Amino acid sequence: MLIVIPGLLAAAELGRVRQLLDAAEWVDGNATSGAQSALAKRNEQLPEGSPAAREAGGIILDALGRSPVFIASALPRKVFPPLFNRYTGGQRFGTHVDNAIRMQRGTDFRIRSDLSATLFLADPDSYDGGELVVEEQFGEQRVKLPAGHLVVYPASSLHRVEPVTRGTRSASFFWIESMVRDDGERRLLFELDQATQDVAGRHGQDDPAAIRLTGVYHNLLRRWADA
């Protein structure tokens, strides 16, 4: 399931993150690559754990915690501290799959990467190329979003970033360990949650149908979740 979350960052938050990135020192993006990714990856990255990455990452984590759509679609158990990359001058990231386990350097923090996320930080008309291409069961999804918009998709998906032929594409990327590891089960829960919210919005939270749907949702979550 691929979910787009518009406007995750407010204008002031986006401005502060951009300010931090503009003033930061960047390194070769292969600093965090696995063996397969290193063969395909050509970009730059903020050093993991740098002051700029920590402050910008904190802004993003706060925004995720305020987003009902993110919480309902991802059902997050753990979120990897956001990382930051940029592409320019033909840089790209060839087709790859993300590592199943991600470990934060210098700590004992680790997650199972059920979901991958990309938060776009550059205006789409400021660069050419740079589409995130996610291979799904029924074909490719090409994603190039306005600054501040987030896309979340299964980490098991093959995906790539097309070459950036003009300008600079900057983004944050991170992974989520979900309470529900199966993508099909997460999809059903998300669709049920959205339907329940629709019924409650039209008929009220105390509507009998809304109450029954809420019960079904929580009983399924109780069955499938690893809290």
pLDDT for the residue 136: 84
Per-residue model confidence as pLDDT tens digits over 74-122: 999 999 999 999 999 999 999 999 999 999 888 899 999 999 999 999 9
pLDDT class of 131 with cuts at 50, 70, 90: very high
pLDDT for the residue 41: 79
d(CA 226, CA 179): 5
Per-residue model confidence as pLDDT tens digits over 187-197: 999 999 999 99
For the chain, give every domain's residue range. Answer: 3-178, 183-224
- Output 126 or 34, whichever has higher pLDDT: 126
pLDDT for the residue 31: 60
Q: Which CATH architecture has domain 3-178?
A: Sandwich (2.60)
pLDDT for the residue 34: 55
Topology, domain 183-224: DNA Excision Repair, Uvrb; Chain A (4.10.860)
pLDDT for the residue 74: 98
Per-residue model confidence as pLDDT tens digits over 4-44: 999 999 999 999 999 999 999 999 866 655 555 556 778 99
Give the CA dihedral 101, 71, 17, 55, nearest 10 degrees. Answer: -60
Per-residue model confidence as pLDDT tens digits over 142-171: 999 999 999 999 999 999 999 999 999 999
Q: Is the pLDDT of residue 210 over 80?
A: yes
pLDDT class of 129 with cuts at 50, 70, 90: very high
Instruction: Tell me the C-alpha to C-alpha distance, in Å, between residue 73 and each of 93, 188, 213, 217.
Output: 26, 10, 17, 13
The pTM of this model reads 0.92
What residue has token string 């990714």?
A: 37
pLDDT for the residue 11: 97
pLDDT for the residue 28: 84
- Own/partner long-range contacts of 180-188 (Cβ < 8 Å, ≥24 apart): 180/75, 180/221, 180/224, 180/225, 180/226, 181/112, 181/114, 181/226, 182/224, 183/1, 183/114, 183/154, 183/156, 185/220, 185/224, 186/1, 186/73, 186/74, 186/75, 187/1, 188/220
Closest CA to 147 of 57, 45, 43, 14: 14
pLDDT for the residue 39: 61
- The CA R_g of the chain, rounded to the nearest whole Å, is 18
> Helix axis angle, 11-23 relative to 51-65, nearest 10°?
160
